[in-house]
Structure 1
Amino acid sequence: MADDSYEKTEEPTPKKLEDARKKGQIARSRELSTALVLVFSAIAFFFVGSIIAKAMFEVMKRSFTLSRDETYDKIHMFQILEMAVTESSLPVMMFMIISLIGGVYGSIALGGYNFTWKSAAPKGNRLSPLEGFKRMFGMNALVELIKGIAKVLVIGFMAYLALYIFRDEALHLDMELYPLNLFHALNMVEWAFLLLCCGMIPIALIDVPYQSFKHNKEMKMTLQEVKDERKNAEGDPQVKGRIRRLQYQASANRMMQAVPEADVIVTNPTHYSVAIKYEQDGDRAPIMVAKGADELAMHIRKIANAHDVPIIQSPMLARAIYYSTEPDQEIPSKLFMAVAQVLAYVYQLKAYKKGKASRPKALKKNLPIPPELRR
């Protein structure tokens, strides 16, 4: 059976897409860019075309209408040039700006704005004849061929439609008065140009999802690549596990060093052990200096026995402190009463062993532990 970890079946991760974007590998649609440039240009021509035509008509009329004195005037040519620039510069600039907006927006409409020098860097595979044949006869070349044929058919149909719509008006232009027939012809050209440009819209609408699908397919990752990326981002699980073990051992060592200084060890008696310390002259509540379960709990009891630290069996209190308190934290206020009884018993027991007090009564088995802290 083939190894699925080397097949590109996984969706690209955000990091994969971001790295590809930095290299200039983003979804782009030339058909969308072309369509928007043409449509914006057609709209601009529709609104300012008549203004440009009138300006050029006046310039041509002025250029070819010369008096005898103007024929010998050396600066007359510059006056006409100034008039041409003044009359036509504003509408031409408007046309160019609108077309430029269409071109810029068409370039970034799919994939967004992206600037990188890496996409312009020379690549060796572009010089490879084998890669060149793949580009010429591959799936992408076939799609481009289909798009080219579709553009010829669609634009040809739109041109035929424009000729069919304006055939009567075009045939009767010679019967109209000059110069109204010129502006009438310009109006037909404007509408025909807009109609032809709109023919690119359906091609762009088909090409945009195809380019998005193609880019996503190219960016897909193998299962091994996803695992490697996760390791690089989060760290090797084995290394992280070893770090956690080392941290746990360091924490356990610190706790074991604090056990001899504890006032009492409260046990389960076999599964849990917690070490409690209380400074009578301090302003803090009793603190839990160490805790452990199973083997660590037994180790705490061994250290306590070696240093004569009292060990009290209170399963419910041991579990309540174990689950509600972390090392070097104060005991929860809801357990103050229970811990106080344990400490009072321990202090009385120490005094009894020194011969300074009578033997204390046995510690109550049912210590006051709130239901929400019972485990």
Structure 2
Amino acid sequence: MSEEDKSEKTEQPTERKLRQAREKGDVPKSQEIPGWFILAAGLGIIAVLSPGLSRGMANSLSLFLANAHELSLAPVEAIDLATATALRIGAVVGFAFMALIVAAVLGNTVQQGLMFTPSKLEPKLSKLNPVEGVKRMFGPQGWVNFFKGIGKMGLVSVAIAVVLWPRRGELAALPGMELVGVLSLLRTDAILLMLAALAVYSLIAAGDFFFQRHEFMERNKMSRKEIRDEMKDTEGDPMVRAKLRQIRHERAQRRMMANVPNAAVVITNPTHYAVALEYEQGRTPAPICIAKGVDDVAFRIREIAEAHGIPIVEDPPLARALHATAELDGVIPVDHYTAVAKVIGYVMSIAKGGGRKRKER
């Protein structure tokens, strides 16, 4: 990616962009988090298993050394002894190995959840290109990883030295101690060392996690053009949406105007508002708003009403109230029943008497 392209990508990635990146296996991932979990699992294994294991090893070794002259070196006995020893060691090592595997899996899962990306399993010949491999090793990212590794090792080494230096006298006395005491001291020192390393590694893992997340967000930043293109893909072109809204509005207006001839009365402002109400005694439970509008639409409603002989009643407060509260093709609000009933009653009386169709209030 050129510097010019990078300079254009100033917007934070959208949810769709992040989802697409995840589908490709691109997620913020720190390799230090699984390392922290593995180190913590190792500390737990030593703290939990080492007491019984050290006592068992001490007893076995003491018995072995005390009775070494009685051991048979015949092939069958030697194989049996080696097998029994291997099984005991294998059980402990196998349990520890499985615990470390679980810790490594957990370290990845807590960062990105469970995910399966088949595209990552596809063979790519570019990965076999030695030139590209050298570029990755000695490129900017390779140097960053190199110095990060050096810094990490240095910090952990300092933490270990801080723990071991005050205990150098005890370590120097190890050759003169009994086997049980040696194993106990080594267990204590190992736990202290791992605690110190874990404390330092916690800071390293946390820092790397936030760094990797920052790099991920920077890597997936979008330009304004990309955001506009995404909006077009997901919601359609804005111009097309506006045109569709206009078409739907025009169709709704035509349907509404086609219903005006069915009105029982049109209530006006007299010029700015017009509301056409349909009502037929015994068929409609209450007056229904079948058309309403302001200014040009109101003029068109009055024009159609006059052409079809629909009574027009000028009642500005009622016209404004009905326009604001009545829904198209819905029954008028209960609050206006009384006022509308008076208007319809007046219209029906005029119709029976054959009088004028327009009333001003």
| TM-score, scaled relative to structure 1 | 0.81
Number of aligned residues: 358
Partner of 1:154: 155
Q: What residue in structure 2 maps to residue 239 of structure 1?
A: 240
Deviations 1:332-352 (A, max 9, x none): 222222222222222222223
Flag the 1:81–1:194 CA change in 2: closer, same or farther, 3 A. farther
Task: Tell me which residue corresponds to 1:168.
Answer: 169
Q: Which residue is equivalent to 1:25? A: 26
Q: CA deviation at 1:62?
A: 6.5
1:182, distance to aligned residue in structure 2 (A): 4.8
List per-residue Cα deviations over 1:217-268 (Å, max 9, x = no partner): 1121111222222233333222222222222222222222221121222222
SS in 2 for 1:253: helix
* Offset from partner CA, 1:123-170 (integer Å, 9 cap, x none): 576567886566445442332122122123223324433542332122
Name the CA distance, whole Å, in 1 between partners of 2:140 and 2:299. 70
Tell me the CA shift for residue 25 of structure 1.
Answer: 0.8
- Assess if the C-alpha contact under 8 Å between 2:58 and 2:180 holds in 1: no
Paired amino acid for 1:282: R
Q: Where do 5+ consecutive residues of structure 2 fail to align?
A: none
- Give me the CA root mean square deviation: 3.4
1:373 corresponds in structure 2 to: none
Residues 21, 102 of structure 1: CA spacing in aligned structure 2 closer, same or farther, 3 A cutoff? same
Instruction: State the SS of the aligned residue for 2:280.
Output: coil
Offset of residue 207 of structure 1:
1.4
Counterpart residue number, 2:116:
115
The more displaced of 291-300 and 217-226 is 291-300
* Paired position in structure 2 for 1:303: 304
Q: Is the 8 A contact 2:9 2:224 kept in 1?
A: yes
Using the alignment, how far apart are the partners of 1:203 and 1:69 within structure 2?
51
2:282 alignment partner in structure 1:
281
How is 1:261-340 mapped onto 2 (pairs within 5 angstroms)? 261-340=262-341
Residues in 1 aligned to 2:104 and 2:328: alpha-carbon distance in whole angstroms: 66
The answer to whether the 8 A contact 1:287-1:330 is kept is yes
SS in 2 for 1:211: helix
Q: Aligned-pair distance for 1:26?
A: 0.8
Once residues 299 and 258 of structure 2 are traced to their aligned partners in structure 1, the CA distance between those partners, rounded to angstroms, is 15
Flag the 1:241–1:127 CA change in 2: closer, same or farther, 3 A.
farther
Match of 1:356 in 2: none
Q: When the two structures are superposed, what TM-score results if normalisation uses the length of structure 2?
A: 0.84
CA distance in 1 between partners of 2:79 and 2:131 (Å): 60
> By how many angstroms is 1:88 displaced?
4.3
Moved more, 209-218 or 30-39: 30-39
Q: Which amino acid aligns with 1:167?
A: R
Please state if 1:143 is matched with 2:134: no
Deviation at 1:189, TM superposition (A): 4.3
Distance 1:240 1:166 in 2: 76
Richer in helix (by share): 2
For 1:5 and 1:269, the matched residues in 2 are separated by 61
- CA shift in 2, pair 1:312/1:181, >3 Å: closer
- Once residues 282 and 188 of structure 2 are traced to their aligned partners in structure 1, the CA distance between those partners, rounded to angstroms, is 100
